[in-house]
A and B are shown apart, each in its own frame.
Chain A
Amino acid sequence: MKKGRLPEEVGVLGMIVVVSIVFSVMSSTFRTVDNLQILLLNGAVIGFLALGQTFVLLTGGIDLSTGSNLCLTGMLAAIAMYNGIPWWGAVVIAVAAGVLVGVFNGVLVHYAKLPPFIVTFSTFGIAASIPKILTGAQSVSVKDPFFAIIGRGSIANVPIPVVMLAIAVVIFTFILRRTALGVHIYSVGGNAETSRLAGISVPKVTIVVYAMSGLCAALGGLITTSRLMVGYPVAGSGNELFYSIASAVVGGVSLFGGIGTIPGALLGSVLIATVSNGMNVVHVESYWQPLVIGVIILGGVILDTYRRQVSLTRLLTKRAPGARSPNAPPSGAVTATEP
């Protein structure tokens, strides 16, 4: 977007390189193509959730229901096929359900004026329970061989989920950079009232971002069920939500809205996946992973907050003498971008 300046994503990219080198030195397994495939495959689900989360975070919201939405949609697909619906029908059902959960979130956030944290915290519980209620907490196995391609197939040695993620990244980046809707998402996160005054439909934007998050959760759910060929009623209840927010934040998406990019979030999820995978192959007990990732998140958030403060003070000190104090800029609207 701006010439002659390093994009912020370079920092995350650097961290990925460093972390990869460290793990490569520590373990010969880490360096193998097989492991890279596993890394990317695991990373794809986190990646999808992170991309969806990014849309929501950009408007200043948060989606806590993404993990259980993954479970719900994955299970619905399994149940559908178990009941004789063809694989593509199951895909349609899962995607529709995921989007519906998102629309539900968006409608409540906008029209009921409830905080996103509360709304999605509630749907988190609701979406997690439904599959268990439907199946009596039993897992449902899937037989349809075509469905297996989604999670297990590959094109030129690249796993299909990774291909799907790559396509999603291209499309989503395009939406945010090259469409009016994309600009509106940033503007609502910057200041919803200003956006309203500029003639933007804030409810539309709000509903769309939660729906996008729901769509991404559904794709994650389909991949998860397809990889295992079983719908597990506890899928997505692990670190998925945690990792999705971590990826976005580490990738430079601001929790205060208005700032962040899709490539940034993607790199964030690659970093998280790399750390997670690397710790597995060097046999660090899995319960250490959230701790390490928690520390990484803190680093990312501190950086984000620091960026804001720097520019705020700069705004104050740079003001022409005698100029009037600015009406406090909306929290999402300020960032350090001066060269």
Chain B
Amino acid sequence: MMAGLDRSMVGSHGLSVHSIVKRYGGAEVLGGVSISIQPGQILGLVGHNGAGKSTLLKTISGAVRPDDGSILIDGTKVEFSHPADALKAGIATVYQELSLLGNLTVTQNVFLGHELTNAGFLRLDQMREQAKQAMATLNLKVDVDRLVSSYPVAIRQLMEIAVAIHRDARYLLLDEPTTSLEGEQVGELLDVVAELARERNIGVLFISHKLDELYRISDRMVALVDGLVCIDSPTDSVPREDLIAAIAGSEASSILDGSHREEPARISRHHQAAPSVRAVHLRTHVLEDVSVVAYPGQVTGIYGLIGSGRTEFLRALMGLDPIVSGELELDGNPYHPSSPAKAAKVGLAYVTEDRKNSGIVPMLNSWYNVALPILHRFTKFGVLNVKRMLANADTILDQLRVRGNRGVGVHSLSGGNQQKVVLARALGQTPNVLLLDEPTKGVDIAVKVEIHRIIRQLAHETGMTVILVSSEDEEILDVADHVCVFVARRCSQVPICVSELTIADLRQAAWATH
């Protein structure tokens, strides 16, 4: 059916946003985005991590207020100050995070915020019947009187979509709805979405990282790059290579193509040394098949889209997530991580990506934050030798050039210095293997450059094994010696020497279809 495509030419019809601008702090996340969703049409939205896809969706659903720009429905300007407004205007949304309430029944979730009432009383039977029908649209065989928390994640994801569909919306916004689904379920979901568009004339915005899905169901494709629309055309007329090139940047040199993978010249020159960390076909409840090697004296970069399993790999190494199958070796010996304490004992240190919640202890001062895991070294008969502890912490803090008052709560330091304190704590443990997850998130440029220098020094001068997870292309290219790219919770390729890569290469590898 080509009707959907034709209608897209009519400017005043459908749901459209014009020149949407959204800033967080100083950063412009959306720099004037205009798109339009036609009834009966599926609009695919792609973009790299942090391109602003979810933010765009949230401005349309009323969850986030744009700083500038307008939203029009059938040519009439609308303003959503609350998600309820968008729902009333016929826009139903499935957010990226699962958001059904586990403590309510399926029926209660289906009708949350728009319960059927009669003189103020809930019409329970009617709601139950309709909830059953809603679940049936996705062929879900669930007991609508049971609590949602009693169902597994994949079912909850499907339920959530069924709940949104049930809203009888004219427009349906879906943010990466297939990430937690398995093959068969994905197909089913895509069929239902396509059917909704064609038969009920619903306009759909479909965000996904998986190009196959988008090519299969979308009528039109929009690519978002750094908060700007860079492709907006009918899906038939966008070649896959063009799309990837647009998302990735143009100067891809196709080094990561399968054809080149085994070429010896491309493989890191450090393969001769014995690896200090070796993971072979590692599986956890998240990771599906991850093989990674890291060498002493080297920075091993780990790159991939959000949700590709990078953080989970570090968690597995630290003994935070149980390993289901596969092998793990540390300096050639089998390694069975069971707890972070044990991992620390064998020389691993971990800097998490979430500084606020699992990095610093905000009220403690810098010295204590650094010395926290190694207090026993300064303790005799249970008494802490504060002087020695301070001196030791100071040495490390000096090395990292931490500025600001070290005697006050670390929360009063700047973000960059806080990050250095977290790094100092890891270094205080004198690890053999340092795991860093987004170590420069939210720090200013000057500190970033410093941290990069420190990481390289640690590896190259002290012989430490550094594993660096980063979403920033430049960071990987500047800091890492070689890189492993995670795709859809898998990683199998031989580490690639970074000196031969461009940003576009990296992104292409991350977007490789699997």
Contact = CB atoms under 8 A, between A and B. Distances in A.
Interface of A: 1-3, 177-180, 182-184, 186-187, 189-191, 193-201, 258-259, 311, 315-316, 318-327, 329-330, 332-335, 337-338
Q: Which of A178, A189, A259 has the most CB of B within 10 A?
A: A178
Nearest to A199: B84
Given A178-B124, A179-B122, A337-B147, A324 B153 contact: yes
B359 to A, nearest CB: 17
Interface string B141-178: 00001110110111010000000000000000000000
Contacts of A315: 149, 152-153
Contact of A323 (B87, B104, B108, B182): B182
17 contacts: A1-B105, A178-B121, A178-B122, A194-B101, A197-B99, A198-B83, A198-B112, A199-B114, A259-B103, A315-B153, A323-B180, A324-B180, A324-B286, A325-B153, A335-B102, A335-B103, A335-B147
Given A2-B145, A178-B124, A334-B102, A199 B113 contact: yes
B150 A337 contact: yes
B82 interface: yes
Q: Which of B95, B99, B112, B145 has the most CB of A within 10 A?
A: B112
Interface string B302-341: 0000010000100000000000100000000000000000
A332 B120 CA distance: 27
A195 B112 contact: yes
B312 A320 contact: no
A177 B121 CA distance: 9
Contacts of B307: 324
Contact of A258 (B99, B103, B124): B103
Nearest to B120: A179
A199 B121 CA distance: 19
A326 B307 CA distance: 11
A254 to B, nearest CB: 9
A210 to B, nearest CB: 20
B98 interface: yes
Contacts of A178: 121-122, 124
A179 B108 CA distance: 11
Nearest to A333: B102
Contacts of B150: 311, 337-338
Given A199-B82, A200-B113, A186 B286 contact: no
A16 B415 CA distance: 55
Given A178-B121, A197-B63, 15 more contacts: A177-B122, A180-B117, A186-B104, A190-B102, A190-B103, A194-B100, A197-B61, A200-B84, A319-B285, A320-B152, A323-B182, A325-B285, A329-B98, A330-B102, A335-B147
A187 B101 contact: yes
A198 B97 contact: no
B149 A191 contact: no
A275 to B, nearest CB: 29
Contacts, number: 135
Contacts of B87: 199
A191 B152 contact: no
Contacts of A177: 122
Nearest to B179: A324
Given A1-B145, A199-B83, A324-B286, A179 B117 contact: yes
B115 interface: yes
B288 interface: yes
A183 B98 contact: no
Contact of A316 (B100, B124, B285): B285
B383 to A, nearest CB: 34
B104 A190 contact: yes
Contacts of B182: 320, 322-323
Contact of A337 (B114, B117, B146, B312): B146
Nearest to B99: A194
Contacts of B98: 326-327, 329
Contacts of B111: 183
Q: Which of A311, A318, A324, A327 has the most CB of B within 10 A?
A: A324
B124 A191 contact: no
Interface string B88-101: 10000101011111
A326 B87 CA distance: 26
A183 to B, nearest CB: 5
A325 B312 contact: yes
Given A197-B63, A326-B98, A321 B122 contact: no
Contacts of A183: 104, 108, 111-112, 115, 122
Q: Which of A179, A258, A329 has the most CB of B within 10 A?
A: A329
Given A180-B122, A186-B103, A337 B149 contact: yes
Contacts of A193: 99
Contacts of A182: 122
A333 B99 CA distance: 10
Interface string B395-419: 0000000000000000000000000
Interface in B59-98: 61, 63, 82-84, 87-88, 93, 95, 97-98
Nearest to B98: A327
Contacts of A2: 145-146
A218 to B, nearest CB: 23
A125 to B, nearest CB: 26
Contacts of B285: 316, 319, 321, 323, 325
Contacts of A186: 101, 103-104, 108
A10 B156 CA distance: 30
Q: Which of B63, B147, B156, B286 has the most CB of A within 10 A?
A: B147
A182 B103 CA distance: 13
A191 B108 CA distance: 14
Contacts of B88: 199
Q: Which of B99, B121, B312, B489 has the most CB of A within 10 A?
A: B99
Contact of B154 (A189, A320, A327): A320
Contacts of B114: 199
Given A179-B120, A324-B286, A332 B103 contact: yes
Contacts of A189: 103
B145 A187 contact: no
Contacts of A194: 99-101
B95 A333 contact: no
B364 to A, nearest CB: 21
Contacts of A258: 101, 103
